Structure 1
Amino acid sequence: MSESANDTAQPVTDWEGYSFDTRQVHAGEYPDRNTGLRVPPIAMSAGYVFDDFDDQVDRFAGRSIDPIYSRQGNPTNAVAEERLASLEGGTGSVAVSSGQAAISSALFALAQHGDHIVSTASIYGGTRILFGRSFKRFGIEFDYVWDADDDAEWERAIRPTTKAIFTETIPNPRNDVTDLRRIAEIAARYNLPVVVDNTVGTPALIRPFEHGADIVVHSTTKFLTGHGAAVGGAVVDGGRFDWAAAERAGRAYPLITAAPRPGLGSMLDRFGTGAYARAVREAVVNDIGPSLSPFNGFLLHQGMETLSLRMERHVDSSLSIAAWLEQQPEVESVDYAGLPSNALHGLALRDYDGRTGSVFGVAVRGGIDGARAFVNGLRVFSRMTGIGDTRSMVIHPLSSTHATFPQEINDRLGITPGLLRLSIGLEAVDDLKRDLRAGLDRVAALATPAVSLAG
């Protein structure tokens, strides 16, 4: 006897309570009612049909969360957004066109002309350039804190106009992991949201909301997508920051707490713990337009299905390679917090179980000449910008990502002439060591005097 319609098993759409590995495969997916497709399809449409006249009115009035145009939202990208929010432990996320777009969108929702943001000093070079060039042009100022354990330095940096603290879980290129708990304590003292770039850490290694962060951003181009074929970014709302309390304390966030028009409540009134994500989507991304291609959104949610498996391999190989490099005579230093010799190893054990990603620095002897010889001697490592790929990559920060910074800034950041940034991929670890050894042999040859054949 056939089952009745009421007895037919329905697809699971709420994955709360399931493990990380299960949610990275299933969270955000939806059954395709038209064809029964198992994998959510790529929704290549610029816009969406309204049900009727009143539906159009409701969408434009902000009374409906259904999208109007794919600049604002897309069903394919929504799968990736819901999946990432689930993995990070947030209340919602917004997919955008790149990591830089994610950082910009996240901060534009908080700050405007005349406002100020404080960042930890050790962050990705491209982010520093973004802050010092484009944000400066828009009238948003930045200050940097070099010692996050120094209360006095935070007190000097934070102003009445400060609207956020920005940091990274695992800064590149030097793997100098951040004490998020400490920064969250400072932020709470001043009623400030903490915005954390978790690109290198990924939610497979660390989930910043569990350590006191309020907002997470990603360059999804990197580990989340995982194969280097699609550029993208995302902003994730933790749903934990008390926007009303911050406003009472004198820090206003009008995109979130102010009514956008008469008769319509604020984002906080309408969306509660999802207010910030909605403000990013409607008041920043919809206006400026850094929308993610549905095809890249598809590649993103496909990539996240294997995130934990890939990160396990990335980190296992990195631990082995970093320990091996530390023993090579041509190497001056290895910046990897997962190593017991590293000054931040205690923090790495506390917050990362000693597994601090697969992007780290190695300084070779011979300065820039040694770096050039090393890079030119590699065959398996790709000489390119980028991290988080299936392929291993190498770049020289001083002549690339940090080339425009003053010498004194690079000196303080530890960006020396012999420093290389490695991103360890998924190749066989023995092949990677053999390739690195070939590069180090060229470094060694620089220090070996040529033998004269003259009589």
Structure 2
Amino acid sequence: MNQNKHYRFETLALHAGQPVDETLSRGVPVYRTSSYLFKDTEHASNLFALKEPGNIYTRLMNPTTDILERRLTELEGGAASVAVASGTSAIFYAIITLAEAGDEIVAASNLYGGTYTQFDAILPKLGIKVIFVDPSNPENFQRAITEKTRAIFMETIGNPGLDYTDVGALSDVAHRNGLPLIVDATFTTPYLLRTIELGADIVVNSLTKWIGGHGTAIGGCITDAGRFDWAKGRHPLFTEPDVNYHGLRWAKDLPEPLAPIAFALRVRTVPLRNLGSCISPDNSWIFLQGLETLHVRMARHCDNALKVAGYLLNHPKVAWVRYPGLQTDPSHEAASKALKNGFGGMVVFGLQGGYDSAVRLIDNIDLFSHLANVGDAKSLILHPASTSHSQLSPEQRLQGGLPDDLIRLSIGLEHPDDLIGALEDALQLLP
């Protein structure tokens, strides 16, 4: 690629981050190796001391994964990315890179069940307190911030309630308090929303979902915008000497080429290096194949989802429907201002018959695969209250916008009329 040209998203999705190597391979090679040779003892020492870049061990970096990370960085508009074994690991590593025992995080309450449980049950055992607030009003975050707060965390579109949260508004709250905004952008992907342009400082994605697109691999990614000033004083992990690296102060001692990506570098060299939730090169290769068609697939996911949501909205056996693309949706006005390429591939709804009807529909539907994933090329269906969010109490589920009758649809790439037909057949079986 010509480095002097500004390429658009579709072009970057196919070409970014891939240098042509000595084999002249057009496809990205898969480097299946655990470790790499050192040229000599000085080279080895320089790599471990962060004095020069290079490969040491695939737990830390891999040439195939490096291309994936560079491509995601370009698509997000960030400065550096670190790919890890799962989206859950990406969230955990992002938090523990900037917070330690005694610190606090302020998070939106409408989170994916696994994230909520991590924040509610696991991080507190490590001494990190998470305060959950209703994301519909940015001032709720302001009121929850204390001198111990280290970051604000949110999802672009809540899972599974599908409320759009205003990234720009929360970035304003975070930045006027000297805090970074961490955004889980899985439900929008960089094709629908480049959150860094709206003020996000750290972006996490589950690559397993639309970025991969075919339900064939698990992975996650953390992208550092490269703009947050970690030296402001609210993040002692960046301003005080780090015993892991001979007293290095991440926000003050890194040379200029590395200084803007202090966060990404600390993710790679502290939690990833020492806890080891690394992505395999084969999975990195699979996600690169998905990225090449992300823009094509997301457009179809969004079109299909809007048609399915419109059908459900007018069905007499359906009690309610949530989809940000519907003009009747509570999030539509805010989402319309930010989401210019579509409103995502998720639809949720409830039935007049409540829980019992939801179970009966799921057990009798065609085409929709009943499983716990989203973002697949195939359409998927789930009852979150009894599966992905079952660890939450009824009160916690309602706080997150998840009533017990909610059915979650991940709309795939099938013909929309066939998906509507499958729903109609199943709805006809209900009383």
TM-score class normalised by the smaller sequence:
over 0.9
Is the contact made by 1:258 and 1:267 (CA closer than 8 Å) also made in structure 2?
Answer: no
Q: Determine the structure 1 residue equivalent to 2:269.
A: 282
SS of structure 2 residue aligned to 1:127: helix
SS of structure 1 residue aligned to 2:342: coil
Deviates more, 1:398-407 or 1:301-310: 398-407
Q: Determine the structure 1 residue equivalent to 2:333.
A: 346
Of the three residues 379, 382, 386, the one matched with 1:395 is: 382
Per-residue deviation, 1:67:
2.4
Per-residue deviation, 1:417:
2.6
Q: Determine the structure 2 residue equivalent to 1:25.
A: 14
- The 1:13–1:222 alpha-carbon spacing in structure 2 relative to 1, beyond 3 Å, is farther
- The 1:43–1:148 alpha-carbon spacing in structure 2 relative to 1, beyond 3 Å, is same
SS of structure 2 residue aligned to 1:171: coil
SS of structure 2 residue aligned to 1:236: strand
1:112 counterpart = 2:100: yes
Per-residue deviation, 1:296:
0.1
Q: Distance in 1 between matches of 2:5 and 2:388?
A: 40
Is the contact made by 2:90 and 2:220 (CA closer than 8 Å) also made in structure 1?
Answer: yes
Per-residue deviation, 1:150:
5.2
Correspondence 1:183-332 to 2 at 5 A: 183-245=170-232, 247=233, 251-255=234-238, 258=241, 261-262=245-246, 266=250, 269-270=254-255, 271-332=258-319
Per-residue deviation, 1:165:
0.4
> Residue type matched to 1:266 in 2?
W
Per-residue CA deviations over 1:402-441 (Å, capped at 9, x if unaligned) read: 2122222222333223210110011111110000111211
- The 1:15–1:201 alpha-carbon spacing in structure 2 relative to 1, beyond 3 Å, is farther
SS of structure 1 residue aligned to 2:98: coil
Q: Determine the structure 2 residue equivalent to 1:45.
A: 33
Q: Distance in 2 between matches of 1:188 and 1:233?
A: 26
Per-residue deviation, 1:157:
1.4
Aligned length, in residue pairs: 427
Per-residue deviation, 1:133:
2.1
Q: Determine the structure 2 residue equivalent to 1:73.
A: 61
SS of structure 2 residue aligned to 1:109: helix
Of the three residues 417, 421, 424, the one matched with 1:430 is: 417
Is the contact made by 2:241 and 2:247 (CA closer than 8 Å) also made in structure 1?
Answer: no
- The 1:424–1:346 alpha-carbon spacing in structure 2 relative to 1, beyond 3 Å, is same
> Residue type matched to 1:252 in 2?
H
Q: Distance in 2 between matches of 1:435 and 1:277?
A: 45
> Residue type matched to 2:15 in 1?
H
Q: Distance in 2 between matches of 1:15 and 1:277?
A: 25
Q: Distance in 2 between matches of 1:208 and 1:95?
A: 18
Q: Distance in 1 between matches of 2:248 and 2:337?
A: 46
> Residue type matched to 2:191 in 1?
A
Per-residue CA deviations over 1:17-61 (Å, capped at 9, x if unaligned) read: 11110000000112120x221112100010111111110111111
- The 1:16–1:221 alpha-carbon spacing in structure 2 relative to 1, beyond 3 Å, is farther
Stretches of structure 1 lacking an aligned partner (at least 5 in a row): 1-11, 447-455
Q: Determine the structure 1 residue equivalent to 2:370.
A: 383
Q: Distance in 1 between matches of 2:246 and 2:414?
A: 58
| Higher radius of gyration, 1 or 2 | 1
Q: Distance in 1 between matches of 2:381 and 2:178?
A: 40
Instruction: Give the TM-score taking structure 1 as reference length.
Output: 0.91
Per-residue CA deviations over 1:386-413 (Å, capped at 9, x if unaligned) read: 0000010000011112212222222233
Q: Distance in 2 between matches of 1:427 and 1:356?
A: 18
Per-residue deviation, 1:327:
0.4
- The 1:166–1:265 alpha-carbon spacing in structure 2 relative to 1, beyond 3 Å, is closer
Per-residue deviation, 1:442:
1.7
> Residue type matched to 1:190 in 2?
N
Q: Determine the structure 2 residue equivalent to 1:88.
A: 76
Correspondence 1:177-188 to 2 at 5 A: 177-188=164-175
Q: Distance in 1 between matches of 2:124 and 2:248?
A: 33
> Residue type matched to 1:74 in 2?
N
Of the three residues 293, 297, 321, the one matched with 1:334 is: 321
> Residue type matched to 1:58 in 2?
N
- The 1:225–1:15 alpha-carbon spacing in structure 2 relative to 1, beyond 3 Å, is farther
Q: Distance in 1 between matches of 2:249 and 2:119?
A: 32
Q: Distance in 1 between matches of 2:190 and 2:416?
A: 24
- The 1:71–1:228 alpha-carbon spacing in structure 2 relative to 1, beyond 3 Å, is same
- The 1:267–1:186 alpha-carbon spacing in structure 2 relative to 1, beyond 3 Å, is closer
Is the contact made by 1:380 and 1:392 (CA closer than 8 Å) also made in structure 2?
Answer: yes
Per-residue deviation, 1:379:
1.3
SS of structure 1 residue aligned to 2:429: helix
Of the three residues 18, 24, 29, the one matched with 1:36 is: 24
Stretches of structure 2 lacking an aligned partner (at least 5 in a row): none
Q: Distance in 1 between matches of 2:315 and 2:5?
A: 47
SS of structure 1 residue aligned to 2:182: strand
Per-residue CA deviations over 1:268-298 (Å, capped at 9, x if unaligned) read: 5231211111111111111110010000000
Is the contact made by 2:230 and 2:251 (CA closer than 8 Å) also made in structure 1?
Answer: no
> Residue type matched to 1:198 in 2?
A
Per-residue deviation, 1:140:
0.9
Is the contact made by 1:334 and 1:363 (CA closer than 8 Å) also made in structure 2?
Answer: yes
- The 1:111–1:259 alpha-carbon spacing in structure 2 relative to 1, beyond 3 Å, is closer
Is the contact made by 1:175 and 1:356 (CA closer than 8 Å) also made in structure 2?
Answer: no
Q: Distance in 2 between matches of 1:253 and 1:341?
A: 46
Is the contact made by 1:348 and 1:354 (CA closer than 8 Å) also made in structure 2?
Answer: no
Between the aligned residues of both structures, percent identity stands at 38
Per-residue deviation, 1:258:
4.0
SS of structure 2 residue aligned to 1:78: helix
Q: Distance in 2 between matches of 1:82 and 1:147?
A: 31
Q: Distance in 2 between matches of 1:109 and 1:264?
A: 15
